């Protein structure tokens, strides 16, 4: 069909057409698509994520340009003074699945898993078991087992001292060699009860505190918290061990925060002996709190089933 001068169109054969020129067609530039560039990390970079004397699990975005949507790499990083032998499991659809096992020298790391965010919906927990080995001495803690929830990188966690996707890492400390220094309770008590102290208690409160301490060993600004699951929840039907641990840790954090706001001197958490999982979890959490020291509570009263926290 060919348009003629008066605007009408007529039908012609192709052989009747004569080429008079070529029309220039402007092509729009193709849109620039930002590629998701895979990144890699060496041990020296990953070690920067954890403090000296610790073993951590880290979650790192796999690609640039997809921090919140792309795949996530989980790395086990050993910055302790030990060689470790480890196994790592994932609780996937309420069943434990083995992810990786092996050994790591001090200052080394290994990738545990690379996974899409949407596939993490099926995973509720990671469990890490480790044996610690030293050629020179037997470690005080020769092994540990810890369960951690799913870690997700976040833009809010950006570490300006690191570069690339590693700066958005989120970590969970699985083990720490750092032991908080023990505090002499008598010295601490004397410090807080001096008349010229800014934190002294009123004379009436001091008298009641001393009477209460003499009778029960607990001051009015001290507390004893029983974390046995039976004390926190009446109906335990349908709760897994992991569910119970979460309930106990939630109550632990609630009591710790309240104690700090009320300027407590001391708080004792009764966790029992059991398999040691709750005790280890509590001590891992306590290492994240500033301005405290902790140790085993008096064995004459609690045996090996309680941890004493001192606010310094």
pLDDT digits (tens, 9 = 90+) for 94-113: 899 999 999 999 999 999 99
pLDDT of 210 higher than 50: no
pLDDT of 201 higher than 50: no
Sign of CA pseudo-dihedral 173, 174, 177, 180 = positive
Mean pLDDT taken over the chain: 80
- Alpha-carbon distance of 246 to 229, in angstroms, equals 10
Band of residue 214 on the pLDDT scale cut at 50, 70, 90:
very low
What is residue 36's predicted lDDT score, i.e. its pLDDT? 46
Q: Which of 171, 152, 137, 139 is nearest to 61 (CA)?
A: 152
Helix, strand, coil tally for the chain in percent (to 5): 25, 30, 40
Q: What structural domains and CATH numbers belong to the chain? A: 38-176 (2.60.40.1600), 185-311 (3.30.1370.110)
Give me 132's structure tokens. Answer: 């610690």
| DSSP 8-class letter at 249 | H
Give me 104's structure tokens. Answer: 């790591």
Place of tokens 């500033």: 290
- Alpha-carbon distance of 145 to 110, in angstroms, equals 18
Q: Rg of the chain over CA atoms, in angstroms? A: 31
- Alpha-carbon distance of 270 to 61, in angstroms, equals 39
pLDDT of 260 higher than 70: yes
pLDDT of 63 higher than 70: yes
What is residue 91's predicted lDDT score, i.e. its pLDDT? 92
């Amino acid at each position: 069909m060919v348009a003629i001068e008066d605007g009408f169109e007529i039908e012609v054969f192709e052989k009747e057409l004569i080429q008079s020129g070529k029309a220039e067609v402007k092509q729009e530039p193709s849109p620039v698509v930002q590629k998701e560039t895979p990144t890699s990390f060496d041990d020296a970079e990953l070690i920067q994520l954890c403090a000296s004397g610790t073993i951590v699990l880290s979650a790192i975005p796999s690609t640039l340009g997809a921090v919140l949507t792309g795949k996530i790499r989980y790395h086990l990083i050993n910055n302790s003074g030990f060689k470790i032998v480890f196994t790592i499991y994932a609780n996937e659809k309420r069943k434990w699945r083995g992810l990786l096992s092996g050994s790591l020298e001090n200052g080394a790391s290994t990738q545990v898993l690379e996974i899409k965010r949407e596939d993490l919906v099926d995973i509720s927990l990671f469990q890490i078991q480790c044996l610690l080995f030293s050629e020179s001495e037997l470690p005080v803690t020769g092994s540990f087992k810890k369960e951690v929830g799913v870690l997700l990188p976040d833009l809010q966690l950006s570490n300006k001292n690191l570069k690339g996707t590693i700066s958005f890492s989120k970590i969970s400390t699985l083990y720490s060699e750092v032991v908080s220094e023990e505090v002499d309770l008598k010295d601490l008590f004397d410090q807080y009860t001096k008349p010229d102290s800014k934190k002294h208690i009123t004379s009436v409160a001091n008298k009641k505190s001393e009477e209460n301490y003499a009778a029960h060993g607990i001051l009015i600004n001290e507390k004893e918290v029983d974390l046995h699951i039976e004390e926190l929840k009446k109906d335990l039907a349908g709760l897994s061990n992991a569910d119970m641990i979460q309930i106990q840790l939630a109550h632990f954090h609630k009591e710790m925060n309240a104690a700090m706001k009320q300027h407590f001197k001391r708080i004792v958490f009764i966790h029992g002996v059991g398999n040691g999982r709750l005790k280890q979890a509590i001590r891992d959490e306590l290492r994240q709190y500033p301005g405290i020291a902790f140790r085993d509570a008096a064995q004459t009263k609690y045996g090996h089933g309680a941890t004493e926290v001192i606010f310094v």
